[in-house]
């Protein structure tokens, strides 16, 4: 074979092999570059277009029983402000005592894609349906101020309502250690009303056992309505021929109705009456002398704490809860805040000092 031809073939073969190697190297280089993921982005994120998902603003749903009482208007405004100060937003709906409407409104909030739902239940049992629907949508639920019964509620935040009842009874028994007592309860559908009554009777029972105190009238107030409390108090007065020594009412609105019934009999200011919630009208009655005491639950403290917890939980962060409260189904992780008894002697150092009500408003009718 011609020597020149052999050399030509050898050169051609070497050149071809070199070209093949270069092509293979290019293919491998392309494969490596295609698998590179920029720092801080997961493979899953890269597979969705190499874009980092935009963080949406946390949205809290607030399902409220009612806005027909002064205190709940305060809760609404303070909670909204606190949530927004934390960089989140809140959607608020109130059912005004309608169970079916509250469930429907909660469903609306769930369908809007809220990150967490906060519920003030009207009916402690009925609102279990709200918790179940929220959980099916992957949304956690906080029970605010009132406990939802028989549901896997994620957290309960409130004041210690049993302690509230104890403070009421302690204040009245210190003034009337013996005599005929009337108890005007709240709505039996509200677990708080049950806890309040339990606290009251924790204190009263030893007096009852000794025969010092007789509870001559004990009735729930349907839907917490003052008109129903007024009817109850009228019945209590009639049944006992006005011979009553003390009244404990489940909140200030019902206490106001009690005092209205007493006034109709010329007994206002003569019979000690306890309430709770520190409503402005109650504070005014206390300094005027027709209501003996109220229990102050700093709503701003509750609203601020609930807002912080709600936003944290919505972000998936853990929230410590030092107590457990049984709701008939589970031991609910709970945050319970402490209330304060208020009467004429400490009105200025509590309600007024905190700015809960102004001194001018509280003393408006007595000129102090």
The whole-angstrom separation of Cα 341 and Cα 123 is: 27
Residue 326 maps to a domain: yes
Structure tokens at 67: 């806005």
Q: DSSP assignment of 159-194, as one string? A: E-HHHHHHHHHHHHHHH-SSEEEEEE---TT-HHHH
Residue 137 maps to a domain: yes
Place of tokens 């008109």: 227
Is the confidence at residue 49, as pLDDT, over 60?
A: no
The per-residue pLDDT for 55 is: 64
Specify the long-range contacts of residues 102-106, CB closer than 8 Å, at least 24 apart.
Answer: 102/63, 102/65, 102/126, 102/127, 102/130, 103/127, 103/129, 103/130, 103/133, 105/63, 106/61, 106/63, 106/130, 106/133, 106/134
The per-residue pLDDT for 368 is: 62
Q: How many CB atoms lie within 10 A of CB 87?
A: 9
According to DSSP, residue 349 is labeled I
The per-residue pLDDT for 8 is: 42
Provide the CA 134 distance to its chain's centre, in angstroms.
Answer: 16
Asked if 142 and 285 sit in the same domain, the reply is no
Beta-bridge partners for 215: 181
Q: Taking residues 138-156, report their average pLDDT.
A: 97
Please give the model's pTM, rounded to 2 decimal places.
Answer: 0.76
Is the confidence at residue 32, as pLDDT, over 50?
A: no
Tell me how many domains the chain contains: 2
**pLDDT tens track for 74-121:** 999 999 999 999 999 999 999 999 999 999 999 999 999 999 999 999
Helical ranges in the chain per DSSP H: 3-35, 43-47, 70-85, 99-111, 128-136, 161-175, 191-210, 226-239, 252-264, 280-288, 299-314, 359-362
Residue 246 maps to a domain: yes
Q: Which of 29-38, 50-59, 171-180 has the highest mean pLDDT?
A: 171-180
Q: How far is CA 124 from CA 18, 74, 164, 342, in A?
A: 81, 21, 19, 28
**pLDDT tens track for 172-209:** 999 999 999 999 999 999 999 999 999 999 999 999 99
% of the chain residues with pLDDT over 70: 85
Burial of 81 (0-12, 13-18, 19+ CB in 10 A): middle
Asked if 255 and 358 sit in the same domain, the reply is yes
The per-residue pLDDT for 340 is: 97
Beta-bridge partners for 219: 184
Mean pLDDT of the chain: 88
Quickly state the pLDDT bin for 15 (edges 50, 70, 90): very low
Structure tokens at 269: 């200011």
- Domain ranges, residue 64: 59-153+299-337
Is the confidence at residue 362, as pLDDT, over 90?
A: yes
Q: Which residues contact 303 (CB under 8 A, 6 or more apart)?
A: 75, 78, 79, 81, 82
The per-residue pLDDT for 152 is: 97
Q: Are strands 179-184 and 213-219 parallel, antiparallel or unpaired?
A: parallel
Is the confidence at residue 9, as pLDDT, over 70?
A: no
Q: How many CB atoms lie within 10 A of CB 32?
A: 8
Place of tokens 């107590």: 323
Asked if 65 and 146 sit in the same domain, the reply is yes
Residue 241 maps to a domain: yes
The whole-angstrom separation of Cα 134 and Cα 120 is: 15
Asked if 126 and 234 sit in the same domain, the reply is no
Asked if 224 and 354 sit in the same domain, the reply is yes
Residue 148 maps to a domain: yes
Is the confidence at residue 286, as pLDDT, over 70?
A: yes
Contact 91, 60 (CB under 8 A): yes
Asked if 242 and 348 sit in the same domain, the reply is yes
Residue 47 maps to a domain: no
Residue 66 maps to a domain: yes
Residue 8 maps to a domain: no
Q: Compare 130 and 367 and report the one with higher pLDDT.
A: 130
Place of tokens 């000092």: 353
Is the confidence at residue 23, as pLDDT, over 70?
A: no
Asked if 357 and 227 sit in the same domain, the reply is yes
Asked if 349 and 214 sit in the same domain, the reply is yes
Structure tokens at 234: 């009228």
Is the confidence at residue 271, as pLDDT, over 60?
A: yes
The whole-angstrom separation of Cα 21 and Cα 183 is: 96
The whole-angstrom separation of Cα 103 and Cα 368 is: 47
CATH code of the domain containing 311: 3.40.50.2300
């Amino acid at each position: 074979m011609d020597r020149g031809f052999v050399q030509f073939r050898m050169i051609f073969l070497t050149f071809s092999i070199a070209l093949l190697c270069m092509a293979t190297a290019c293919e491998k280089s392309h494969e490596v570059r295609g698998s590179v993921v920029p720092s801080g982005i997961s493979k899953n994120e890269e597979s969705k277009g190499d874009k980092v998902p935009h963080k949406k603003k946390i949205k809290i749903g607030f399902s409220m029983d009612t806005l027909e009482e002064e205190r709940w208007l305060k809760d609404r405004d303070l909670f909204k402000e606190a949530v927004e100060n934390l960089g989140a937003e809140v959607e608020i709906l109130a059912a005004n005592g309608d169970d079916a409407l509250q469930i429907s409104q909660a469903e609306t909030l769930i369908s809007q894609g809220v990150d967490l739902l906060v519920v003030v239940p009207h009916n402690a049992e009925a609102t279990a349906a709200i918790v179940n629907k929220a959980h099916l949508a992957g949304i956690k639920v906080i029970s605010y101020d009132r406990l939802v019964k028989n549901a896997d509620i994620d957290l309960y935040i409130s004041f210690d309502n049993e302690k509230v009842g104890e403070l009421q009874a302690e204040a009245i028994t210190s003034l009337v250690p013996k005599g005929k007592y009337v108890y005007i309860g709240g709505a039996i559908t509200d677990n708080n009303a049950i806890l309040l009554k339990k606290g009251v009777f924790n204190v009263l029972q030893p007096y009852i056992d000794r025969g010092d105190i007789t509870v001559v009238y004990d009735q729930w107030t349907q839907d917490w309505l003052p008109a129903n409390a007024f009817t109850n108090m009228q019945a209590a007065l009639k049944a006992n021929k006005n011979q009553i020594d003390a009244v404990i009412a489940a909140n200030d609105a019902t206490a106001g109705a009690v005092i209205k019934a007493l006034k109709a009999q010329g007994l206002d200011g003569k019979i000690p009456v306890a309430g709770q919630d520190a409503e402005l009208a109650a504070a005014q009655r206390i300094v005027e002398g027709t209501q003996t005491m109220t229990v102050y639950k700093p709503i701003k403290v509750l609203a601020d704490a609930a807002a912080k917890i709600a936003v944290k939980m919505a972000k998936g962060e853990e929230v410590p809860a030092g107590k457990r409260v049984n709701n008939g189904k589970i031991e609910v992780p709970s945050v319970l805040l402490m209330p304060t008894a208020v009467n004429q002697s400490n009105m200025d150092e509590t309600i007024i000092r905190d700015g809960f009500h102004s001194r001018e408003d509280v003393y408006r009718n007595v000129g102090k």
